[in-house]
Structure 1
Amino acid sequence: MDNFSTSAALITALIMNYFNGIYKGDAALLEKTFHPKALIVGDIKGVPYFKTLDQYLEGVKSRKSPQELGEKFNMEIISLEVINNTAVAKVKVPIFDYNYYDQLSLAVVDGKWVIVNKLLTHVN
């Protein structure tokens, strides 16, 4: 398997953990997908959103999960671009009557892929 295929498989597995962490409200699983200094930035219905990873995880812990609310799992990877030890993934995360699109910046840190930045927006 070449380096791109290996990286793409590892990143896909990481993103599936990211999706499952969000869907199940599993903050511990979600935390493992991020670098500790990651930022979560974007806008929700035009309102600016800027959080540290800890602030973001607190929000996940304090709400009912999409799974608990009986929502269908509809998250998907739209695209993935890998260049050496960096990558950008565009993903769709429809939850809580929102239609989120995330752009995840990823990098190899200490020998493993992690999300180093999350940009998000809601699209009507």
Structure 2
Amino acid sequence: MKISKLLLNFFCLLMCLSFTVKAQSEDEAIKTCVNNYLEGVLKGDAARLNLAFHPTALLRSVNTSNGTLQDIPVAKFISTTPAGGIQTKGGSTKLISYSYIGISALATVELRFGEFKYVDLLSMLKFGEEWKIVSRVFSRTDLDSQVKGTAAATATAPTASKPVVKKSSSANVKPKADDGW
């Protein structure tokens, strides 16, 4: 009896450790992807940038001169990254935040230059065991501009005094297959 109890405790300990290691490894894998991007931009390292981005990734922003959506293919972005990177222009990089669930992740990073900065929102997806940036949405801002907002602060949970009533309707039935919604 004591041996089976000991084995059960040992098994539970192993399961807890494997869950912790997996969670840590996901964090590390996402940070590796983001750091490949940041180091690639900082040092002008095309190999690191290619490790960070999915080959079909798009970089998107608004063209400030005409107000239209501007798409830049990742291959063009990498090929026009200055030799030596932004560090040769006094630039620096910083990871502001990241979050993930399942196979999707989002990171906010900052690329600082002498008189301005870019704030990038990097959308990532997990392919096998690797995270890749699939979209970079960016904004050029003043150095003193701060990222604002947070989902946690604006999300509201149902209160105990008002129970949530779940109504069934055939109009709202989702297909069983993963349709992206």
**Is the TM value for this pair above 0.5?**
yes
After superposition, the Cα gap between the structure-2 partners of 1:52 and 1:72, relative to the gap in structure 1 and judged at 3 Å, is closer
- The answer for the alignment partner of 2:140 in structure 1 is 122
More displaced, 82-91 or 48-57? Answer: 48-57
**Matching residue's letter, 2:95:** I
Q: 2:95 aligns with which of 51, 68, 77?
A: 77
* Number of residue equivalences: 120
Quick check: 2:91–2:114 contact (8 Å CA) kept in 1?
A: no
**CA RMSD for the aligned pairs?**
2.0
Cα deviation 1:63-95 (Å, max 9, x = unaligned): 5522233x153x212121111111011111113
Query: Which has the higher relative contact order, 1 or 2, with Cα contacts under 8 A spaced 6 or more apart?
Result: 1
Q: Report the equivalent of 1:50.
A: 71
Q: Which protein shows a greater Rg?
A: 2
Higher share in helix: 2
TM-score normalised to structure 1 length: 0.84
Identity of aligned residues (%): 24
Q: What is the TM-score of this pair, normalised by structure 2?
A: 0.59
Larger proportion of strand: 1
Partners of 2:70 and 2:116 in 1: CA distance? 14
**How far has the Cα of 1:60 moved from its partner?**
0.6
For structure 2, which runs of at least 5 residues remain unmatched after alignment? 1-19, 143-181
